[in-house]
Amino acid sequence: MSTKNQVLTLTILFVLTSFGPMIQAIPIGGEVPVCIAEETPSVVRTWNEVTLIYPDQFHDYGMIQEELAQFEAIAPHLVSIESFGKSSQGLDLNYVVITNEVISGPKSKTLIVAHHHGREQITIEMALRFIQHLLSQYAIDDTITSYVDNIEIYIIPTLNPDTLEYVINQGDHWLRKNINPYDEDGDGLVDEDSPDDVDGDGIISQEVIYHVDPVFGYVIDYSGWEGIDNDGDGEINEDPIGHVDLNRNYDVFWDLQTAGSDDVYAQDYRGEEPFSENETRAFRSFALQHKFTAAYSLHSGVNATYLSTDADQMYVEPIIYDNVMADFNNMLPRSFNKPIGPPYVAVNDKLSLTVEADESGLWREWMYHKRDTVLPVTFEIYTNHTAPDLEEHIQLNSTHTLYRWNGIYEYFNPDEQYIQSLWEDVSPAFDYLLNVTPKFHANLEAATNELGNGSQIRLHMEMDIESPYFGSQEGIEIITDDGELLKWYMPIGPVQVVDNLITLDLPTSFLNEEVVIHLGNNWTGYKTFTITTQQAQFIITPEIYIIIGIAVVALVAAIFRKRR
């Protein structure tokens, strides 16, 4: 054999003998262990584009129920409707879950809650259009389809349905608080003396007198609505409908009283104690059952995004929040923030950001500090200070100013013809919530063909989190159907890919029955796998591989000798 051929032969032998033992046995026959991932098929779409039953008007409670029932009937494998309690007046508080129900097991979750405040009914319209958007785009848009397949999307269309009935059906567009009958004037009657349309122009006006303070600027001296003495006690509007501001009633920083008022007549009256109201208690019970990394509470009255801060008015999650605010500024139109005039001033021509420290009683602070939601966003989606005939400005003198508000309707809500265009402006922020919600991807495969006694298995594990800012929050675990912990792995970051070999000691032998395990945690949801065996024809071990390789080398060498 020539020197060249000898070198070739020795090289092949070296490769085979060095790397052959590293090659896994190749099954051709017999039983081998396998780890099979639960299939995750998308729902087969059987519907056309989804439309609202009431597309160009504000929904009352009954209309909302009709829309939800329609959504569930159109796509029953994607939509489910549940009640999480009763309002003060006995109406069902509903939440909608949008997810692919064919894919079983818990998933990562996200939340939108609308309508803490009665007069902000535009938030309901955005919540309904979000559901419509998800159903219309499912199985058409790959990104939306992936979101719905991999996330449980919770939507509460109204947290304050009692007030909605007054706002929509009785035209009381000032009403902010919930309707929990209360005797404000102590005469033994409840809600008997509310504002009235005295001049018969179809709206209830309000007068506000400000004085200019050299330190604090505009300060309210007087605020009052049109009204008459309904109960004949010589006073007007002293026992109005409406009791507690639900977004001041949460049990967080309560003793600080940095937000909300103890004045029962105030629009931001916080209640006698935390969670005093049916609506907030029901939400607490609901929220305690779920883990949300990110969530929105929808409001109107300004265009602003409020995030959690500490006592020094600094973001509690500075890196994440700075990035999120930059994203919001980029995704919303430049005209989104409209000036709202004295005594308030818009921050810029885009998104107004208000930073306030450790605010007591607020939903977002409770979600962050008590429910570990990293990104609870108070998303203020609309204001229009320039609505025609809304405000009349009267200069009293050099130190005091009188404003007469001729109704409030278009301040908190656009005219009905503009509801859809507002949705088109803000809809990117709704998709963004799904984008930042952590999506857990994982796979487990058997890393050996050895059966042993079936009580132990070696697996190749791959994991990652799909989210620009959030990881798994807590460690990843492998558990059985009964919740027994088999393995724990450190938390995963938003850009981290895990590729490891692990060994599991199983509670039962997979030779006798299939062993079902779950990989994930309460934040990410879980992926389900089944450990079992399957038939193979034959197994080529590393030793056989080397023998075959040596035979091939000998054959090649013989051919070269023959040619010489």
Residue 336 — very low, low, confident or very high, per pLDDT cuts 50/70/90? low
Write out the H or E segment, with its range, that includes residue 421.
helix 419-436
Q: What does the pLDDT read at residue 340?
A: 32
In sequence order, the β-bridge partners of residue 480 are 517
| Structure tokens, 103 | 């894919």
Q: What does the pLDDT read at residue 377?
A: 95
Q: Are 436 and 469 in contact (CB under 8 A)?
A: yes
* pLDDT exceeds 80 at position 131: yes
* pLDDT exceeds 50 at position 352: no
Residue with tokens 């056989």: 544
Q: What does the pLDDT read at residue 495?
A: 87
Domains in the chain, CATH or no CATH each = 26-41+439-540 (2.60.40), 161-181+247-383+414-436 (3.40.630.10)
Q: What is the pLDDT of residues 492-541, one digit of tens each?
A: 999 899 999 999 999 999 999 999 999 999 999 999 999 999 998 545 55
SS3 (DSSP) at 457: strand
In angstroms, the CA 414 to CA 58 distance is: 10
Residue 170 — very low, low, confident or very high, per pLDDT cuts 50/70/90? confident
Residue 140 — very low, low, confident or very high, per pLDDT cuts 50/70/90? very high
* pLDDT exceeds 60 at position 346: no
HSE of 53 in the Cβ direction (CA atoms, 13 Å)? 13
Q: What does the pLDDT read at residue 548?
A: 59
Greater model confidence, 305 or 75:
75
Q: What does the pLDDT read at residue 342?
A: 32
SS3 (DSSP) at 383: coil
CA dist 87 → 15, 160, 163, 179 (Å): 74, 7, 10, 9
SS3 (DSSP) at 166: helix
Q: What does the pLDDT read at residue 335?
A: 54
In angstroms, the CA 269 to CA 261 distance is: 5
DSSP character string of 252-313 = SSGGG--SSBS-TTSTTB--SSTT-SHHHHHHHHHHTT--EEEEEEEE-SSEEEE--B-TTS
Q: What does the pLDDT read at residue 521?
A: 96
Of 184-188, 207-211, 229-233, 345-349, the one with minimum mean pLDDT is 345-349
Distance of CA 146 to the CA centre of its chain: 15
CA dist 226 → 165, 220, 301 (Å): 21, 18, 21
Q: What does the pLDDT read at residue 314?
A: 83
Of 87-101, 134-148, 377-391, the one with minimum mean pLDDT is 377-391
Greater model confidence, 97 or 211:
97
Q: Are 490 and 475 in contact (CB under 8 A)?
A: yes
Question: What average pLDDT does the chain have?
Answer: 86
- 414 upstream amide cis, omega within 30 of 0: no
| Structure tokens, 31 | 């039983």
pTM score over 0.75: yes
Residue 477 — very low, low, confident or very high, per pLDDT cuts 50/70/90? very high
Q: What does the pLDDT read at residue 510?
A: 96
* pLDDT exceeds 80 at position 560: no
* pLDDT exceeds 50 at position 349: no
Mean pLDDT for 552-564 is: 58
Mean pLDDT for 328-356 is: 49
The C-alpha angle with vertex 312 and arms to 309 and 315, in degrees rounded to 5, equals 30
User: What are the backbone dihedrals phi and psi of residue 489, each rounded to the nearest 5 degrees, phi first?
Assistant: -130, 150
Greater model confidence, 357 or 240:
240
SS3 (DSSP) at 34: strand
Residue with tokens 């204001």: 383
Q: What is the 3-state secondary structure (H, E, C) of 37-87?
A: ECCCCCCCCCCCCCCCCCCCCCCCHHHHHHHHHHHHHHCCCCEEEEEEEEC
User: What are the backbone dihedrals phi and psi of residue 342, each rounded to the nearest 5 degrees, phi first?
Assistant: -60, 145
Q: What does the pLDDT read at residue 542?
A: 55
- Listed in sequence order, the residues at least 6 apart from 506 whose beta carbon sits closer than 8 Å to its beta carbon are 454, 455, 456, 457, 486, 515, 531
Q: Are 282 and 329 in contact (CB under 8 A)?
A: no
Q: What does the pLDDT read at residue 110?
A: 98
Q: What is the pLDDT of residues 366-404, one digit of tens each?
A: 999 999 999 999 999 998 866 766 777 787 888 888 888
Q: pLDDT above 90 covers what percent of the chain?
A: 59
Write out the H or E segment, with its range, that includes residue 155.
strand 151-156
Query: How many beta carbons lie within 10 A of that of residue 262, not counting itself?
Result: 10
